[in-house]
Chain A
Amino acid sequence: MTVFDRVAEEIAEIAGVDKSKVKIDASLKDDLDMDSLDQTLLMIALEEEFGQEIDDQTAETLTTVGQIVEFIEEKLGEAE
């Protein structure tokens, strides 16, 4: 599975939406109706899924699916 697929799966579960609704350019708040608690739970789930820490300040800047995927890909690249 790609990073996007894994992120989309986590989002679908927390936001309670079908995975097909999670698009790369979707806004967590406006398109997926994720409030700040959902977004926090997502960051915790992603830390666990990818084994990468997401600091709180960075987490606040990740407002779209694309930003999250890009951030995780970068982190995974650094780790290699």
Chain B
Amino acid sequence: MKKPKLISLGFAVPERSWTQEKTFSILGYPRQFKRIFLDSGIEKRHFWIEPERMKQLSWQEMCEEFEKGSIELSTRAISNCLDGRDIKDIGCVTFASCTGYLCPSTVHRLNMGFRADTFFTAVVGQGCEGGGFPGLKRAYDFTLATGRPSIVVAAELCSCTYFPEGDSPDPENDYELLRGNAIFGDAASAALIGYDDDPRHPHIVDFEVYTNPAYLNDLGYVWRNGRLRLRLSKNVKKYAAEVSGEAVRRLLNRQFLRVSDINYWVIHAAGNRVLDLIRERLGIEEAKLYFSRKALRLYGNVSSATVGIIGKLLIQEADIKPGDLLVMVTIGPGISGGATICQFKD
């Protein structure tokens, strides 16, 4: 059976952005911790809730902001992705987010003119890989089964999960809130899966996933004082490299490919050090991480919206040739690593 293609990508970010220096100053951490923000490989981040307001809002108000923000950013990301294509052709829309919960889901609230027989799916609780792996796989499977185009959209409003700290960073679990506040931003990205004859749109060839449940409690959210509190242990970078590296290794082995055969890498820009460790583990050339580093620099870690942004930057800027191979790598709680291989063909 002919495999579906990645037809288009789009993304949207909140209007305003803040430099790392400015964000650090607003959040009010002691001066010694400024380096955590400045050494992150990030220049600026976009936030739905302005940093000035993050500390003031109740959990209820943050959830209300998530509702507004996820609808607006998802709508803009999908419009950007469709780029004039008819929304009535879409057979399935999968929405992913780990930074807010709505029932009915955000996808039901998108007033974009979908047909009444469009399938809606919401992926929740899969962290930074919700959109880029299980969401993408759902879209792929739907298109493969029905022949109809499908969309996956990931909207992550990390500013809506800001957890208040005192005057100094909370040292619980190795300063995980400080780590999170130094890297996470807000964005939505969307991917259109379908069939066409355009050689610039890659075929999705294969998927692989690898989860190590020993790291279950190192990444995700926990409930604390009636709010979601980020869980991001110091060891995540090491574990992320391990699980994603294993997923990639298995995927490439099955496809009889080597790391050096891959022309482009779209690796979840979780942080500079995570990218370093994945690069070292797999032996990827630094130049092939250009688009992951660029997305990190311009937008920060926008959780499951990240790989869509990296992919969009790549498609826009890279000199892609027929036959080129692309591997997308995602990282999520579990801790889980996902790998998807695509090929550009005539």
Q: Give CA–CA (A60, B33) in the complex, Å.
A: 12
A8 at the binding interface (Cβ < 8 Å): no
Q: Which residues of A contact B234 (CB under 8 A)?
A: 35, 37-38
Q: Is the interface of A mostly helix, strand, loop or mixed?
A: helix
Q: Would B273 and A39 count as touching, CB distance under 8 A?
A: no
In the complex, whether B269 has a CB less than 8 A from a CB of chain A is no
Pick from B34-42, B72-80, B109-117, B301-309 the stretch touching chain A. B34-42
Tell me if B175 is interfacial: C-beta within 8 Å of chain A. yes
* In contact, B31 and A56 (Cβ under 8 angstroms): yes
Asked if B260 is at the interface (CB within 8 A of a chain A CB), the reply is: no
Does A3 lie at the interface of the complex (its beta carbon under 8 Å from any beta carbon of B)?
Answer: no
Residues of the A chain whose Cβ atoms lie less than 8 Å from the Cβ of B34: 56
Chain A residue at minimal CB-CB distance from B34: A56
Q: At the interface, yes or no: B255 with Cβ under 8 Å from chain A?
A: no
In the complex, are the beta carbons of A40 and B33 less than 8 A apart? yes
Residue of B whose beta carbon sits closest to that of A37: B36
Complex interface: chain B residues within 8 A of A52 (CB): none
A63–chain B nearest beta-carbon distance, Å: 12
Partner of A56, one of B32, B174, B178, B179: B32
**A-B contact number at CB 8 A:** 30
Task: Output the least CB separation between A58 and chain B (Å).
Answer: 12
Residues from chain A with Cβ under 8 Å of B39 in the complex: 36
State how many angstroms separate the Cβ of B13 from the closest Cβ of chain A: 25
CB nearest neighbor in A for B179: A37
CB of A59 within 8 Å of the partner chain: yes
Number of interface residues of B (CB under 8 A): 15
For the complex, what is the distance from the CA of A60 to the CA of B34, rounded to whole Å? Answer: 11
Nearest-Cβ distance from residue B264 to partner chain A, whole angstroms: 27
Q: Tell me how many residues of A have a C-beta within 8 Å of chain B.
A: 12
Q: How far is the CA of A43 from the CA of B32 in the complex (A)?
A: 8
Query: Is A24 located at the chain interface by the 8 A CB criterion?
Result: no
Q: Which of A17-60 contact B (CB under 8 A)?
A: 35-41, 43-44, 56, 59-60
Contact of A35 among B31, B32, B33, B273 (CB under 8 A): B273
With contact pairs A37-B175, A37-B178 given, residues A60 and B35 touching in the complex (Cβ less than 8 Å): yes
Q: Which residues on B sit within 8 Å (CB–CB) of A43? A: 32
B residues near A35, Cβ cutoff 8 Å: 234, 237, 273
* Pairwise interchain contact A39-B35, C-beta atoms closer than 8 A: yes
| Separation of A44 and B32 alpha carbons in the complex (Å) | 8
Which residues of chain B (232-273) have a CB below 8 Å from chain A? 234, 237, 273
Residues of B near any A CB (own CB < 8 A):
31-36, 39-40, 174-175, 178-179, 234, 237, 273
Task: Give 23 A-B contacts (CB < 8 Å), ordered by A residue.
Answer: A35-B234, A35-B237, A35-B273, A36-B35, A36-B40, A37-B33, A37-B36, A37-B174, A37-B175, A37-B178, A37-B179, A40-B32, A40-B33, A40-B35, A43-B32, A44-B32, A56-B31, A56-B32, A56-B34, A56-B35, A59-B32, A59-B35, A60-B35
